[in-house]
Amino acid sequence: MAGPDEDTWRTGNTETPPCEGPLATRSLDPFEIAVKRALGVQSISTGVFTPADRLHTAAEFKHVLGRGRRVVKREVVVVVAPTVARLDGDARRLGITVSRRVGGAVVRNRLKRWVREWFRVARQSLVAGSDVLVIVRRPAVSLSVQAFRTVLDRSLAEVAR
């Protein structure tokens, strides 16, 4: 029944609308962590990748490209250079470049995520005070995550020689 001040054209549904906003993030289950450790997974995505771990400006990218040692593979180009002197001497930083020619946003973001995950694991094998730039090429799209990590590991080993 409509009251004297009620809009008769409105629906009679008085339920509140569902809550809006982002859903809760999924945290790692302790059982899942134990299984991954038992399987020998090196990283359980608990590593932190802070802004201090990244190359930010075009000048930093140019510095690495200009002064670094590079290894060119079909899937990636890996360039390693000494960190700029004004930074902490123990810093190991990462820069990632994935061109739009590689694929759509979903593909590019997946490849960048793979590079970041690889860097979290490989960071300690780098010389302290080094910047790493990874340029991902189109053939990397067809690789599995394990094959992609293998390519990056081999490239880093070649640069270190």
Does any domain span residue 93? yes
Tell me if 135 sits within 8 A of 68, measured CB to CB: no
The pLDDT, as a whole number, for residue 121 is: 86
Contacts of 9 (CB under 8 A, 6+ apart): none
Quick: pLDDT tens for 51-90: 888 899 999 999 999 998 999 999 999 999 988 766 566 7
Quick: pLDDT tens for 1-24: 556 666 666 666 666 666 676 666
Quick: pLDDT tens for 102-157: 999 999 999 999 999 999 888 888 888 889 999 999 999 999 999 999 999 999 99
Quick: pLDDT tens for 27-54: 666 776 676 666 666 554 546 778 888 8
Does any domain span residue 42? no
* Dihedral pair phi/psi, residue 55, rounded to 5°: -85, 135
Does any domain span residue 58? yes
Domain coverage including residue 65: 51-160
Does any domain span residue 66? yes
Does any domain span residue 71? yes
Does any domain span residue 83? yes
From residue 29, alpha-carbon distances to 46, 49, 121 in Å are 12, 21, 21
69-72: strand order across its sheet: 69-72, 76-82, 130-136, 92-98
Does any domain span residue 22? no
Distance CA 4, CA 161 (A): 86
CATH of the domain at 146: 3.30.230.10
Does any domain span residue 21? no
Beta bridge partners of 98: 136
Q: Assign 135 to helix, strand or coil.
A: strand
How many domains are there within the chain?
1
For tokens 């990397």, the residue is 140
